[in-house]
Structure 1
Amino acid sequence: MIEYELAGNDLGEVRFAISPLNELVLSLRTLRDPGRFPLQLPWLRATGPARAGLDLELLGALTNESLWTPDFLTPRPYTPLGRIDDELAALTGTPAGVVRADLAEIHPAMLPPVLLGRPDKVLDRVLATLRDYWEACFEPYWARMRTVLEADVVYRGRVMAQAGLAAMFAGIDPHVRLDDTVLRIRLRSDYSYRTSTAGRGLTLTPSLFSRRGSVPISPEEPPHIMYPARGLGTLWETETTTSPTALVGLIGRVRAQLLRLLETPTSSTELAVRLGVTPTAVNQHLRALRAAGLLISARHGRSILYRRSDLGDRVLRGA
């Protein structure tokens, strides 16, 4: 079990961040064991031809049978919305000792042949291969992936504001629990350590490639929890449930679907994923529905959440 002591004002330093590098590296788990990630099978099938031209031996060596990845490849993100170019560039200065130790941590018996050699040369090969992997398999899909991750952050922030920090932590994973000021993350292995977040804070990173909460292997790493993003099931699917015919004829298909979906407060980014349209198009429809009195909205942080008004409820019931 991993324990983070949230001391004093650190309770107010819990923050969220989205990391394309974390997603890129964690996705390697799906290549090793696709059966554990059934919701990502459409993406795996779509990117199969592109992966054929990659160094799959090296990519496969960056995980082990327990699906661990080297800590230096999944650093704690320091900006809310990271850029892959910046994150890869930041890794170029990783000390040789860190590279050697982190690779040995996931392959304690023996390093795979593809990871042998001078650590700086190995690092160069790893970063070049990850860049190729990003361009072939992530770049065409990242906008859609990021939308789901952003929607998760909005949702978690709403839970934290309405129900408190403990409820938010309980919601990200059943194996994560906040007891007073100690955050406990129960792992499948016997690996354990306890460390304080004092002066470092705690970063939460939603992921499309995590089945449960995960943390850095080393207690020396900054406190960081990667957890399964909410709404993963919507990533490769669009909303297909039909709306009442009379309502579609009155306000159009997309607006009728939006009205039906907005029983609870939801952001435009989450709605865009569910409907398979752009956030810009969704926002246009939302503004029109709000102007007609069918929706109400409220700002939550940098996002605006929408839900049906009483009038919208009556219109939907009538239809």
Structure 2
Amino acid sequence: MVVRYQLVGQDLGGVRFAISPLNELVLSLHAWRDPGRYPLHLPWIRQMQRVRGSLDDAVLDALVNDDLWTPDFLTPRPWSPLTRLEDELAAIRRTGNGVVDRDLRLLHGPGELPAPLRGPDVLDRILDALTGYWERCFAPHWSRMRALLEGDVTFRGREIAQHGLAAMFAGLAGRVRLSGDTVEVFVRSQVHYTRPATGGLTLVPSMWTSSASAPILPDEPPMIIYRARGLGTLWEPQPLPAPGALAGLLGAHRAGLLIQLATPASSTELAVRLGVTATAVNQHLRALRAAGLLVSARHGRSVLYRRSDLADQLLARSSVS
């Protein structure tokens, strides 16, 4: 079936890109239900399986049906490439009970809802489950994921500037095209509607879709979620730079870690990024912190490390940015 968004007048200039941490979190539950469909994410899926027992498995599993659909109220339209998860969760917490019940019943069909999705406090339990899932499975990797999504947005913006809107839409996915003043999205589900893109059309890159999708209901804000570029490289180990003078003083691995820690990261995130074990990374991090080159702070369930002022001075003197 097909969803059509009509771009009229100012709507043509209202095509925007946005990134949604919450969309990515919720759509990743597809891999929770059917890991075999996401072979490019196997390194992440293996880690997720190791911590699954510590999460609210029943609620998370109930948020995906057999067709790998998720409730629309949990994938709202984001407004910016800089969207924060905290702001999205706060907005979801204000969702009316009627909307929550409607979307859950659309997800699971007629009859009684699954037991984990029943009761007056269901929205609080859903948000608590998603928060725990984020902290254990997403937060250690989000900077890497966001970099890939931001790279896609930059590429699409360049496409518009160089080749125009029609070429950009044609490059999103085989199921999206601009025909005259109408954007057509060919979807797999039994969804068929045409509506004006009032307020603008938002394009959201995702790591968890094979092509492109749009909201099930026509009264939802105009949005297309499409497959981001570069997924094949997302989990490849990154090279660890070894700056000359500093590597001679600290060793190549520890000098390289200092460069990586220009922005805070956990040992788990660093291990996945570099393709090594968390144990190996922790040994180096402890040595660097003992030498006064790192500081650490707890963030949720993770400990984040970043360079100290002393480390910044050493790097500056080594001419390493």
- Give the match for residue 268 of structure 2: none
Residue 213 (structure 2) pairs with residue 211 (structure 1): no
Residue 177 (structure 2) pairs with residue 177 (structure 1): yes
For 1:114, give the aligned amino acid: P
- Give the match for residue 3 of structure 1: 4
- Structure-to-structure mapping, 1:1-319, within 5 angstroms: 1-110=2-111, 111-118=113-120, 121-198=121-198, 200-238=199-237
Q: Distance in 2 between matches of 1:276 and 1:16?
A: 30
For 1:56, give the aligned amino acid: D
Q: Distance in 2 between matches of 1:186 and 1:129?
A: 32
Q: Distance in 2 between matches of 1:188 and 1:70?
A: 16
Deviates more, 1:39-48 or 1:17-26: 39-48
Q: Distance in 1 between matches of 2:108 and 2:193?
A: 20
CA offset at residue 109 of structure 1? 2.8
Detail structure 1 runs of 4+ shifted over 3 Å in the superposition.
none
Does the 8 A contact of 2:19 with 2:78 survive in 1?
A: yes
Q: Deviations over 1:46-103 (max 9, x none)?
A: 2222222011111011111111111110000122211111111111110111001010
TM-score normalised to the size of structure 1? 0.73
In structure 1, the residue corresponding to 2:184 is in which secondary structure? Answer: strand
For 2:12, give the aligned amino acid: L
In structure 1, the residue corresponding to 2:212 is in which secondary structure? Answer: coil
Query: Unaligned regions of 5+ residues in structure 1, if any?
Result: 241-274, 278-283, 289-319
In structure 2, the residue corresponding to 1:139 is in which secondary structure? Answer: helix
Q: Distance in 2 between matches of 1:276 and 1:173?
A: 31
Does the 8 A contact of 2:81 with 2:150 survive in 1?
A: no
Does the 8 A contact of 2:187 with 2:214 survive in 1?
A: no
Q: Distance in 2 between matches of 1:238 and 1:53?
A: 27
Q: Deviations over 1:253-272 (max 9, x none)?
A: xxxxxxxxxxxxxxxxxxxx
Q: How many residues align?
A: 245
Q: Distance in 2 between matches of 1:202 and 1:89?
A: 23
In structure 2, the residue corresponding to 1:2 is in which secondary structure? Answer: strand
In structure 2, the residue corresponding to 1:47 is in which secondary structure? Answer: helix
In structure 1, the residue corresponding to 2:225 is in which secondary structure? Answer: strand
TM-score normalised to the size of structure 2? 0.73
Query: Unaligned regions of 5+ residues in structure 2, if any?
Result: 240-272, 276-314
For 1:48, give the aligned amino acid: Q
CA offset at residue 276 of structure 1? 6.4
Q: C-alpha root-mean-square deviation of aligned residues, in Å?
A: 2.2
For 1:214, give the aligned amino acid: S
Q: Distance in 2 between matches of 1:33 and 1:48?
A: 12
Q: Distance in 1 between matches of 2:44 and 2:79?
A: 28
Distance 1:276 1:176, change over 3 A: farther
Q: Distance in 2 between matches of 1:230 and 1:35?
A: 20
Q: Distance in 2 between matches of 1:52 and 1:62?
A: 17
Q: Distance in 2 between matches of 1:70 and 1:12?
A: 29
For 1:154, give the aligned amino acid: T
For 2:93, give the aligned amino acid: T
Q: Deviations over 1:260-290 (max 9, x none)?
A: xxxxxxxxxxxxxxx969xxxxxx9xxx9xx
What is the identity percentage for the equivalent residue pairs of Structure 1 and Structure 2? Answer: 55
Q: Distance in 1 between matches of 2:32 and 2:154?
A: 29
Q: Distance in 2 between matches of 1:196 and 1:130?
A: 33
